[in-house]
Each structure stands twice: as structure tokens, then as C-alpha cells.
């Protein structure tokens, strides 16, 4: 197991000379100089875990402290384990909750005997299979996602928004829907989030009978920055194993990418590195690229990734948010205005985007319906300003029709989630993409002009709701 640390006398590195938060400064008076990212420990206490991070000259080594701060003190002798962090991989991690070392934290006992794998990819590592670009839509059963921001199988989607707009809930519904009906496995990386949210997720996956195909890796918000930063690498290692060795399609979830980058910023500050814009680490771009570049699809198996991105103070120009966006095939922006109106999921169709929304990928019918829907909603925004001043009756007959159809379209895109049935009291729905395209076309063509807008709130498809004939 990865939790067993060995050391040898001839791998003595030096003594601790200072501890600043999660950064430990070692004076190298030994003969062995460990390479960066090698795992170190104390000569007297194997519970001490350090990772070689950066050299200053030839006699000073800065390390990340991965264990509790009270396990280390000045003068402690440090030795190398001779290897980097490794984690258990394979089917034994499915249905389990582990930490960055791959050690169980779910109270269900040790993992079955299995092989281990280093959590970092070395430069020049050969790719397992030929890298391919995704071209097929992965349906999620969520109307506003599948229609306005379609996700590609083997692609990456970011759920972007501030606090309390429903990112995690939307992500968990996607996980439940896709894993429940699909094959393959899923990996969930919880980085910098609350322990309660992790427990709720585990309970939800267990209740919906998808936990046995899901591996969960957590570095909670109460863990130090070094642990939170490295948790992403552990999760990516599990993804690579299932893709390259088991040849299985992988659905990968990250909650939250911003916390991963924020952890790197905290470490950079403690190291005294010259910050870039807004105080972020100078290695911001390379850190997110190193992580995202591991999540590719091959001819043998696909990696479909859904990642939440917290936007501090609703400032979408934040460097951590901006650094993440170029790596995504689809970006769903969650709007605070829509949450104030009680419309969930609060996906903003104007600011969201997807490379899949083109005639070749989604088909002519879907593409033209989406284009027309966006145009209708844009007219609605303009007409709403007039209505707020003079009232709806002052609009022309044609504009009144456009206004009401847009209102019905907005209401139709609301949806009750299966994982929140207990909280909302509404039965959750899952709607096929073809049904959404059909329903939107019917609304835009005026087939439901006589139906009041409130009838469209939190329904599934129009046929099941009895608002549209099956023919």
C-alpha cells in the first residue's frame, strides 16, 4: 500500500531549519539530494510526509508539508523514501473514498491488494493509444445543458459561477444521469470543498446505485494547501489507469478547479515567489495546463470531464477563471439573476458556449432551433425593458407573441433534479435531447400560444406533461 513508507540510512537528506505554514526549509547536510517531487520523511517518525518542491542553491531544499504541522519541528532529521507518491489503482478503488495517497477515508476498511502507480506523469511518457478529438454528443438528460451547451463524449465542460448558484448540484445530477445509464466508470475529485458536501455526494451515489462504479478522491477545505494542490494529480492518475489499462470510458468530475489553483497560489505566497496579476502564482497557466493535458481521449477509451469553477465575488475576469476556460470544449455560465428568479438550473444561454453546437455535430434541426431560441430570448431581454415601463399591452401583437413564447421557453428550461427530490418535493425528470429539440421547435412555431407560461415551469418534456400531442 502507498501508506507504507520505507527509508534507508544512505538516503539522509538533512535537518529541518524552518517551518512556514505548509513549507518546510531543510538544510541539506547529507550526501543524497532528492529530485523534485520525491517523497521524504523523518528518520524517527514515518508519519511525517514531505515532498521535495524547490532548491535554493545547493544546500537549501524547500518541501511541501503533507502531514500535520505538529509532526515536524526544527532540527528533525529528514531522509528520502527513494520514490514519489504512489496510489492504489484498479477496480478496488471503485465504490471507495480515498485521500491523495489513495488511502481509504470512508471507514470501510483497507483496499484489496492491488497495484500502485505514481501520481505524476514524467515528460516523454508515451500515450496509451492514439489521441482523438471528441465528435459525439454525450447526453446528460438536462434540458438547458443538452440544448444550449451540449457536452461532447470525450470533451470537457466547465460549470462556472459564484457562490450559491447551483454548480455542485448540477454537476451531481449530470454524474447521476450519465453514470446510471452508461457504461464505464467515473472518478470524482473533491478539491477544497466542504466535508458535508462530500458526504452528501457519497450518500446520493449510494442511494441511486451508482457508487460501485465511482471512485471518490477528496482533499477537503480543512486540509492544508499542499494536500489540496496534489489531490488533483491523484485523481488524474486514477483516470489514466482506467483509460489506458482497463480501456474503459471515464467520466471525470472536479469540484472545484478554482480551489486547486487557489492552493497553488497559497503555496507560492509562502515561498515568496513574485506574484503575477491579482496576486496569483507565476506558474498559474502551467499548473492548469499540466492537469488538463492529462485528461485526453484515445481510440481505446474516452475521458469526459465536467468541472466546476468557482468565481470569487462574481468577477469572471479573475485570472484563475480565465486560465481554465481555454481548456474547455463547453462552458456553462450559471447566472445569479436566474437564481433570484427561482429558475434552476440557472444556466445563462447568452454567455454559455459549446464547440458542439454546430450543424455537423448536433444536427441541422437542433442547431437551427438553438439559434432561433437565442434570437427569441435576446428579443425578450429588449422587450422586457419596455414592458417594465409601459406594460405588456403596449407591445405590438407580433411582439406580444415573441415575448410570451420567450417566457414559455425560459420556463420550459427549468427542471426538477432527481437528486434533489427530497429537498424540492418535486419528482426529478430526465429528458432526451431529441425531445427537447422537438419541444423548443413547437414553442417557437406557436403551437402552444394558448397555453399559459406558468404551465411550463418545472416540467419534463411537453408530451409527458400533456401539453403537446405525441404525433
Catalytic positions, please?
A: 167, 193-194
Q: How many residues does the chain have?
A: 471
DSSP string computed for 341-405: TT-SS-B-TTT-EETT-SHHHH-HHHHHHHHHHHHHHHHHHHHHHHHHHH-GGGS-HHHHHHHHH
Between the alpha carbon of residue 252 and those of residues 174, 274, 286, 302, the distances in Å are 11, 33, 21, 10
Distance from chain centroid for Cα 236:
12
Residue 4 CB burial class (10 angstroms; 0-12, 13-18, ≥19):
exposed
Query: Can you read off the three cell numbers belonging to residue 440?
Result: 423548443
Count of CB atoms situated within 10 Å of the CB of 377: 19
Write the Ramachandran bin of 420: left for phi over 0, alpha for psi from -120 to 50, otherwise beta: alpha
HSE-up of residue 89 (Cα within 13 Å, Cβ side): 21
Q: What is the chain's percent helix, strand, coil content, to nearest 5?
A: 40, 20, 40
Q: What angle do CA 240, 236, 299 make, to 5 degrees?
A: 30
Contact call for residues 379 and 402 (beta carbons, < 8 A): yes
Count of CB atoms situated within 10 Å of the CB of 164: 10
Query: For residues 33 and 209, what is the distance between their CA atoms, to the nearest angstrom?
Result: 49
Query: For residues 405 and 391, what is the distance between their CA atoms, to the nearest angstrom?
Result: 17
Contact call for residues 169 and 417 (beta carbons, < 8 A): yes
Amino acid at each position: 500500500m502507498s501508506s507504507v513508507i520505507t527509508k534507508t540510512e544512505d538516503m539522509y537528506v538533512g535537518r529541518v531549519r524552518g517551518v512556514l505554514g505548509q513549507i518546510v526549509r531543510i538544510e541539506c547536510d547529507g550526501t543524497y539530494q532528492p529530485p523534485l517531487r520525491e517523497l521524504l520523511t523523518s528518520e524517527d517518525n514515518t508519519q511525517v510526509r514531505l515532498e521535495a518542491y524547490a532548491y535554493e542553491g545547493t544546500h537549501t531544499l524547500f518541501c511541501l508539508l503533507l502531514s500535520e504541522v505538529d509532526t515536524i519541528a526544527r532540527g528533525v532529521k529528514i531522509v528520502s523514501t527513494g520514490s514519489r507518491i504512489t496510489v492504489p489503482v484498479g477496480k478496488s478503488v471503485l465504490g471507495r473514498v480515498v485521500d491523495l495517497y489513495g488511502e481509504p477515508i470512508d471507514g470501510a476498511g483497507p483496499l484489496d491488494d492491488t497495484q500502485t502507480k505514481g501520481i505524476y506523469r514524467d515528460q516523454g511518457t508515451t500515450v496509451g493509444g492514439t489521441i482523438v478529438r471528441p465528435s459525439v454528443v454525450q447526453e446528460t438528460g438536462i434540458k438547458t445543458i443538452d440544448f444550449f451547451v451540449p457536452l461532447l463524449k470525450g470533451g470537457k465542460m466547465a460549470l462556472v459561477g459564484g457562490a450559491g448558484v447551483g454548480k455542485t448540484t448540477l454537476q451531481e445530477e449530470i454524474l447521476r444521469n450519465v453514470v446510471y445509464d452508461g457504461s464505464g466508470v467515473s472518478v470524482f475529485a473533491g478539491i477544497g470543498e466542504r466535508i458535508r458536501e462530500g458526504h452528501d455526494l457519497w450518500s446520493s451515489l449510494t442511494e441511486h446505485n451508482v457508487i460501485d462504479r465511482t471512485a471518490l478522491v477528496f482533499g477537503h477545505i480543512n486540509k492544508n494547501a499542499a494536500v489540496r494542490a496534489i489531490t488533483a494529480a491523484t485523481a488524474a492518475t486514477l483516470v489514466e489507469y482506467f483509460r489506458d489499462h482497463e480501456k474503459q470510458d471515464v467520466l471525470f468530475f472536479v469540484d472545484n478547479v478554482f480551489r486547486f489553483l487557489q492552493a497553488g497560489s497559497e503555496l507560492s505566497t509562502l515561498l515568496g515567489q513574485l506574484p503575477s496579476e491579482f496576486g496569483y502564482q507565476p506558474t498559474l497557466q502551467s499548473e492548469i495546463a499540466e492537469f488538463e493535458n492529462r485528461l485526453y481521449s484515445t481510440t481505446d477509451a474516452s475521458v469526459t470531464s465536467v468541472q466546476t469553477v468557482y468565481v470569487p465575488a462574481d468577477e469572471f475576469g479573475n485570472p484563475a477563471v480565465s486560465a481554465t476556460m481555454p481548456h474547455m470544449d463547453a462552458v456553462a455560465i450559471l447566472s445569479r439573476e436566474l437564481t433570484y428568479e427561482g429558475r434552476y438550473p440557472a444556466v445563462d444561454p447568452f454567455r454559455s458556449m459549446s464547440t458542439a453546437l454546430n450543424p455537423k455535430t448536433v444536427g441541422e434541426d437542433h442547431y437551427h432551433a438553438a439559434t432561433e431560441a437565442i434570437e427569441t430570448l435576446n428579443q425578450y431581454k429588449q422587450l422586457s425593458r419596455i414592458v417594465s415601463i409601459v406594460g405588456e399591452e403596449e407591445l405590438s401583437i407580433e411582439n406580444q407573441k415573441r415575448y410570451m413564447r420567450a417566457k414559455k421557453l425560459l420556463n420550459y428550461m427549468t427542471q426538477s433534479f432527481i437528486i434533489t427530490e427530497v429537498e424540492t418535493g418535486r419528482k426529478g425528470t430526465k429528458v432526451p435531447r431529441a425531445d427537447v429539440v422537438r419541444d423548443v421547435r413547437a414553442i417557437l412555431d406557436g403551437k402552444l400560444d394558448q397555453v399559459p407560461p406558468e404551465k411550463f415551469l418545472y416540467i419534463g418534456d411537453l408530451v409527458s406533461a400533456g401539453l403537446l400531442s405525441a404525433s
